[in-house]
Amino acid sequence: MTSHEEAVSSDSEDSDSCNCSRRGFLGTGFGVGLAMATTASVLSACSSADPAPASGMLFLRDEDVALFHALLPVVAIDLMDLAPDTRHKRVTQTVRQIDQACAAMNLLGHSELRRLFGLLSMPVLRWLVTGVRAAWREATPQQIAGFLERWRTGRLETLRAGRNALVKLCSANYFALPESRSVSGYPGPQPGLVLALNG
């Protein structure tokens, strides 16, 4: 069994512990639709007072940074083989790359990302659509792996597309780092490929 499968298997116990009302709410897709609609409404209402990007970032906000810090060790499993200090540095570098890639997108890309990140930043809505109760800073790799697997195999195209966007942002920008390429043996992308993948 791979480490990812073990993570998903371990997380299944946490998933089973979620109450039936959540499973029923999401069963028909109504819950996700309502969550997305609620997110869009909230973001629209607050657009004139949007939180500023996190310190040192162009696009990502504090919750978005925490989200990618949680996602990266699960998506880029090479990170788990690194010493903690090195891993933290590599994750921080990758998050900055992700931020630059997001900032370089057009207005439509910004809008779509903001809806996705907004959904994942609101505690109640995040729990409804991912099953993760904890804040991203406190979420375990098993919980993250479980959420990504549920979105990958889910019936709703919206969630599958959201999962693909998150994984693509993590993997493309992680392997764009020279340090990551040397560890993984990946020769590196062709010029312009990272921008194309993130566009």
pLDDT score of 12 more than 70: no
Distant-in-sequence contacts of 180-184, Cβ < 8 A, 24+ apart: 180/76, 180/78, 180/90, 180/94, 183/78, 183/81, 183/82, 184/78
pLDDT in tens, 142-162: 999 999 999 999 888 888 999
Question: How would DSSP label each residue in 83-100?
Answer: -HHHHHHHHHHHHHHHHH
Residue 114 is classified by DSSP as H
For residues 70-83, average pLDDT: 93
Sign of CA dihedral 49, 112, 189, 67: positive
- How much is the pTM? 0.72
Domain of residue 90 covers: 3-198
The pLDDT value given to residue 45: 46
pLDDT band of residue 194 (cuts 50, 70, 90) is: low
Number of domains the chain is built from: 1
Residue 50 has pLDDT above 70, yes or no: no
pLDDT in tens, 99-117: 999 999 999 999 999 999 9
pLDDT score at 181:
72
